[in-house]
């Protein structure tokens, strides 16, 4: 009883939301509302993949990562590249791995640089010289590096026609690019350039007065990782052509799953790098973190525009979810497996397998996995405790900051996974990041800023609301005192969810599932 009284506003709000949902359902026939609800759940699943990371990152380290939407977008474009143009990815892997293997060495180099005694003037200047020389050499060498890629200027070879050709099955990858200059010189240039860059970075970080020395085991691990990356780079270079042929020979379904996995891993690595290099120095200045992530978002957006171009294009659906013709739309599970249909029949309406079923399944899997991680593992326990009171956790002798990088990596990895998933259903565009960020922020605010389950519930709520309003935009709402049904225009759809957020925050400032401060 007491609990009821305490939570009466919350229960009332939930009740009103349920009544509104029932009202919305009663306005249309059964097959239509089922499809609309499925669409809403799918949009909710995509929003959830972004909101989950945002919520854990914000809860644990008080960083509102405003670049999260753009990272989602970057994940989508990376996924598209792995999926449609694996040759480009394999070509680019070698120089990327080489640069990474040398930059990983920075902590070791810092230790070495600190033990040096140089004349004052030389000590001041050399990192700048190294930085300029390293960047110059790297840019020069990378421009010489052969990369079979698309061409933004030429429509026939642009990402759009690549995607269309892939969908119709007429895509032919261009002949593998060959070294024009001597390979030894170009690869040597990349190695020396990134080596200089790493040295310069070590020179800069050696100047910091408070520097944690890596322990011997850490140093050994760093050396092993670096050596491994270095060796991997040459392995990839050696088997470049067979690997490319193998990837292109794979069916579109396994390739799509490879793209999902690779893009999430790359996203996670990117997130880890961002946390370590840029966010970590700013934990004492909270407002600057928000500004930094805003700026980062702009940089990523411009990068995407420069590499993949401005026009919108679609990621082709994998073959399992693209079957049409005989036996489709499927009426039973057996048909579905046999003909690999794009659509199935539910209550007389057609449900698209990829857009409205697969995305929801992946969303549920991720929800379960993250919930398990949070509830059942030691890392999850530290995260949960850190969200509640990170100072207390530190006082108990746990290094919370070490968890920060892992959590940031996890969040960005999930966002990148969401991006790849969204590719075939929402399409790839420069604006997708900003749109999904707005949705995720709303979901977060509605569900309670730091609550993980709240983020999930908020995402589903926002997804359902958006899809039902879009549906009513087609069929119209019968408003009393108006002759014609009112049809909200598409731009007003996002406005409705924003309004929902404002109203809910005004009634319940801590969100639907948040805890009172």
Which residues form the interface with another protein (CB under 8 A)? 64, 278, 281-282, 285, 287-288, 290-292, 294-296, 298-299, 301-303, 306, 434, 438, 441-442, 445, 449, 489, 491-492, 494-495, 498-499, 501-502, 505-506, 509
Report yes or no: 280 and 388 within 8 Å, Cβ to Cβ.
no
DSSP state of 214: P
> To the nearest whole angstrom, how small is the minimum distance from the Cβ of residue 57 to another protein?
13
Segment 190-193 long-range contacts (CB within 8 Å, at least 24 positions apart): 190/95, 190/98, 190/99, 190/138, 190/141, 190/142, 190/145, 191/98, 191/102, 192/137, 193/133, 193/134, 193/135, 193/136, 193/137, 193/138, 193/140, 193/141
Q: Of the candidates 66, 71, 50, which has an alpha carbon nearest to the alpha carbon of residue 439?
A: 50
Return the number of the residue (125 or 507) whose C-beta is nearest another protein: 507
Return the number of the residue (43 or 336) whose C-beta is nearest another protein: 43
SS (H, E, C) 148-167: CCCCCCCHHHCHHHHHHHHH
Could you give phi then psi for residue 452, rounded to 5 degrees? -70, -45
Return the number of the residue (306 or 365) whose C-beta is nearest another protein: 306
The three-class DSSP label of residue 404 is helix
Element (H or E) spanning 125, and its range?
Answer: helix 120-144
Tokens of residue 108, six digits: 């070791």
Tell me the β-bridge partners of 330.
Answer: 344
Report yes or no: 256 and 316 within 8 Å, Cβ to Cβ.
no
Return the number of the residue (165 or 438) whose C-beta is nearest another protein: 438
Return the number of the residue (301 or 412) whose C-beta is nearest another protein: 301
Report yes or no: 76 and 423 within 8 Å, Cβ to Cβ.
yes
The three-class DSSP label of residue 181 is coil
Tell me the β-bridge partners of 343.
Answer: 352
> To the nearest whole angstrom, how small is the minimum distance from the Cβ of residue 296 to another protein?
6
> To the nearest whole angstrom, how small is the minimum distance from the Cβ of residue 443 to another protein?
11
Return the number of the residue (51 or 315) whose C-beta is nearest another protein: 51
Return the number of the residue (185 or 503) whose C-beta is nearest another protein: 503
Return the number of the residue (163 or 441) whose C-beta is nearest another protein: 441
> To the nearest whole angstrom, how small is the minimum distance from the Cβ of residue 300 to another protein?
9
> To the nearest whole angstrom, how small is the minimum distance from the Cβ of residue 302 to another protein?
4
Tokens of residue 314, six digits: 């679609």
> To the nearest whole angstrom, how small is the minimum distance from the Cβ of residue 288 to another protein?
5
> To the nearest whole angstrom, how small is the minimum distance from the Cβ of residue 228 to another protein?
30
> To the nearest whole angstrom, how small is the minimum distance from the Cβ of residue 409 to another protein?
20
Calpha distance 455→513 (Å, rounded): 9
Return the number of the residue (258 or 294) whose C-beta is nearest another protein: 294
> To the nearest whole angstrom, how small is the minimum distance from the Cβ of residue 312 to another protein?
16
Rounded to a whole number, what is the largest CA-CA distance in the chain? 86
């Amino acid at each position: 009883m007491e609990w009821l009284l305490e939570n009466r506003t919350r229960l009332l709000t939930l009740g009103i939301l349920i009544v509104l949902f029932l009202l919305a359902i009663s306005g249309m026939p059964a097959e239509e509302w089922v499809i609309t609800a499925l669409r809403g759940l799918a949009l909710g699943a995509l929003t959830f993949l972004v909101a989950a990371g945002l919520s854990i990152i914000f809860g644990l380290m008080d960083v509102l990562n405003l670049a999260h939407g753009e990272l989602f977008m970057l994940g989508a474009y990376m996924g598209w590249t792995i999926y449609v143009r694996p040759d480009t990815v394999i070509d680019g892997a070698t120089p990327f791995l080489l640069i990474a293997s040398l930059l990983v060495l920075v902590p070791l180099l810092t230790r070495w640089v600190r033990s040096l005694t140089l004349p004052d003037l030389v000590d001041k200047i050399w990192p700048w010289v190294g930085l300029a020389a390293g960047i110059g050499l790297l840019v020069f060498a990378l421009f010489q590096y052969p990369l079979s890629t698309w061409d933004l200027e030429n429509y026939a070879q642009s990402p759009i026609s690549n995607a269309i050709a892939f969908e119709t099955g007429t895509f032919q990858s261009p002949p593998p690019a060959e070294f024009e200059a001597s390979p030894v010189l170009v690869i040597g240039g990349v190695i020396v350039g990134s080596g200089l860059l790493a040295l310069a970075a070590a020179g800069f970080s050696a100047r910091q007065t408070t520097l944690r020395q890596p322990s011997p085991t850490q140093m050994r691990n760093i050396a092993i990782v670096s050596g491994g990356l270095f060796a991997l780079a040459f392995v990839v270079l050696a088997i470049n052509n067979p690997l490319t042929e193998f990837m292109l020979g794979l069916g579109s379904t396994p390739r799509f799953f490879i793209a999902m996995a690779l893009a999430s891993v790359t996203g996670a690595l990117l997130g880890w790098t961002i946390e370590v290099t840029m966010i970590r120095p700013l934990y004492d200045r909270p407002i600057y973190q928000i500004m930094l992530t805003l700026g980062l978002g702009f940089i990523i957006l411009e990068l995407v525009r420069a590499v993949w171009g401005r026009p919108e294009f679609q990621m082709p659906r994998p073959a399992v979810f693209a079957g049409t013709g005989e036996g489709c739309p499927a009426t039973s599970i057996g048909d579905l497996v046999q003909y690999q249909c794009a659509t199935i029949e539910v209550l007389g309406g057609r449900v698209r397998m990829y857009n409205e079923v697969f995305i929801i399944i992946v969303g549920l899997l991720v929800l379960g996995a993250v919930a398990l991680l949070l509830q059942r593992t030691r890392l999850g326990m530290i995260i949960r405790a850190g969200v509640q009171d990170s100072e207390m956790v530190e006082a108990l002798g746990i290094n919370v900051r070490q968890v920060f990088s892992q959590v940031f990596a996890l969040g960005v990895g999930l966002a990148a996974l969401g991006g790849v998933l969204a590719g075939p259903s929402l399409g790839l565009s420069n604006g997708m990041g900003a749109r999904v960020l707005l949705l995720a922020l709303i979901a977060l605010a509605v569900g309670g800023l730091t609550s993980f389950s709240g983020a999930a519930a908020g995402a589903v709520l926002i997804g359902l609301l958006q899809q039902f309003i879009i549906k009513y935009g087609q069929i119209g709402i019968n408003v009393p005192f108006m002759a014609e049904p009112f049809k909200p225009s598409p731009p007003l759809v996002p406005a409705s969810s924003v309004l929902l957020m404002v109203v809910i925050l005004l009634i319940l400032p801590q969100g639907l599932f948040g805890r009172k401060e």
